[in-house]
Structure 1
Amino acid sequence: MPKRILTGTVTSDANAQTVTVSVERRFTHPVLKKTIRKSKKYRAHDEQNAFKKGDQVRIQECAPKSKTKRWEVLSA
């Protein structure tokens, strides 16, 4: 089964080798027929500390790296 790849914005780079990525998804409300925006934050592994706050990045699922990290940064 292929690993999921998501695109989002780095919202925090305060921790060593970890970035927090906010991923937004858009969908149409089934009753109101209005476009809804929802976002979710993921903690991702960043080996070289290369990404800073505000960067657009792609993240991919991986084996657990720590208690909260289940994703790793692919590229900008």
Structure 2
Amino acid sequence: MTLATEPRLTDPDGFYAALMEAHRGLDDASSRRLDAALVLLLANQIGDAAVLLEAIRLAREAVAPAQAAPGARG
């Protein structure tokens, strides 16, 4: 199985709204716990370690692009 990166949600705006609603009223620590719990539930649903590792890599690159190696010029 490979990671599907093409849009597949039938109602992405509805999903986003539900996710934001789930966070409503939570302090920062509780919000982070909600995100962690959701990630673990979805990871269990996927169940494929290779796919999950690829998702982690892509997510990390999306928020913190790879830094140039020490000594590299660019």
TM-score, L = length of structure 2: 0.18
- Name the structure with the higher strand share: 1
Larger RCO (alpha carbons 8 Å, 6+ apart): 2
- Name the structure with the higher helix share: 2
Higher Rg: 2
TM-score, L = length of structure 1: 0.18
